[in-house]
Amino acid sequence: MVYWTHDPEKLWSAVTDSIKLLIVDDHPLFRQGLVDVLETDPRIQVIAAAANGETALELARANKPEIVIMDVNLPQGNGLQITRQMLSDLPRTKVIILTGYDNPEQVYHSLQIGAVAYRAKDIPPDDLLKTIFTVREGRYVIHDQVLSHEEVLEWIKQRAGRYVNAHNGVLGGSSSSLSPREMEILELVTDGISNKDIAQRLGISQQTVKNHVTTILRKLQVDDRTQAAIFALRQGWVRLDGS
C-alpha cells in the first residue's frame, strides 16, 4: 500500500489514448464542475453525464465508458445499486465512487460490489485526475491510499466480519456456470493461494491449474485472479472466513 508517492507526470504520461468517462451526479453545478475540470486534460473524454441512476445505466450501455465517476445518493437508484448493475452489464468498466459521506461501511460495500476507488467530494482536482489515471493502471484507491489487487482483496477480507450478513458465506447465486473443480480453485484463489500451491494441494499440475483459472476468468468476464476473487466475494460464492 502506498500514498501519493509516485510521480504523477510519469503516471499520466503512460496514457496513450483518451479515457472515455461518464459522470453520474444529481447536483447540476457539481456535475458541470466535474465536466469542466476533467475536460481540461486532453487525455480525458467526458462522453456523457447523468443526473440519475436510470439515465446512468442507459448512457453506460450505449457508450461503454472506460471509467465512471459515481455519486452515491441518486434519484432512481442508489449509486451502489447502480454500480452493481452497471458492472454486471459492463464488467470491464471501472467505477470511482465520489461521495460527500465518508462512511467506513460504505467504503467496504463500494469495493465489495466492484468499485475501484472511493473518494470524498472535497477532493482537489489534481488528486481526482491522479485517481482516474491510477485506476486506469489497474490499481485501487481508498481516500489517498493506493492499493494493488492483492492489497484491496485483503482489505475487504479483513473487514468482512463487520459488515456482511451471515448468509454471505454460503455458496449460491449463479455460480452454476462453474464446474465443481473450478469452484474449488476459485475458493483457493480467493484465499490468496498461488497456482503452484493450488497444484500441490489438489495433486494436479500447475498447467492444469492455469488452464482452470483461464476458464474461470473467461466465464466470469474478468481480467485476472484478483478480480475473479473479488467477484466471488461480492456474489457470496465463497466463504469469507477461510473456514
How confident is residue 159, by pLDDT bands cut at 50, 70 and 90? Answer: confident
- Predicted pLDDT of residue 75: 76
Whether 63 has a pLDDT exceeding 90, the answer reads: yes
Is residue 243 very low, low, confident or very high in pLDDT (cuts 50, 70, 90)? very low
HSE (CB half, 13 Å, CA atoms) of 167?
2
Q: What is the pLDDT of residues 91-117, one digit of tens each?
A: 899 999 998 877 787 888 889 888 999
Residue 53 buriedness (CB in 10 A; 0-12 / 13-18 / 19+): buried
pLDDT at 212: 93
The pLDDT score that the predictor gives to residue 141 is 97
| Percent of the chain at pLDDT exceeding 70 | 81
Q: Is the pLDDT higher at 221 or at 126?
A: 126
Residue 129, pLDDT score: 96
C-alpha cell at 76: 432512481
Residues of the chain with CATH 1.10.10.10: 169-235
The CATH number of 8-157 is which of 3.40.50.2300, 3.20.20.210, 3.40.50.410, 3.40.50.1460?
A: 3.40.50.2300
Per-residue pLDDT tens over the stretch 6-29: 554 555 555 557 999 999 999 999
Distance CA 68, CA 86 (A): 10
DSSP annotation of 239 reads -
Between 10 and 171, residue with greater pLDDT: 10
Mean pLDDT of 123-146: 95
- Per-residue pLDDT reduced to its tens digit, 226-242: 778 877 776 666 655 44
Q: Which fold has domain 169-235?
A: Arc Repressor Mutant, subunit A (1.10.10)
pLDDT of residue 11: 53
From 9-18, 84-93, 208-217, the region with the lowest mean pLDDT: 9-18
**For position 123, what pLDDT does the model report?**
93
The pLDDT of residue 230 is 79
Q: Pick the range with the lowest mean pLDDT from 7-16, 119-128, 135-144, 229-238.
A: 7-16
- Which residue has better confidence, 169 or 61? 61
Is this prediction's pTM over 0.85?
A: no
Per-residue b or e along 113-135, where b marks 16 or more CB atoms closer than 10 Å to that residue's CB? bbbbbbbeeeeeeebbbbbbbbb
Question: Confidence band (pLDDT; 50, 70, 90) for 169?
Answer: very low
Domain with CATH 3.40.50.2300 in the chain: 8-157
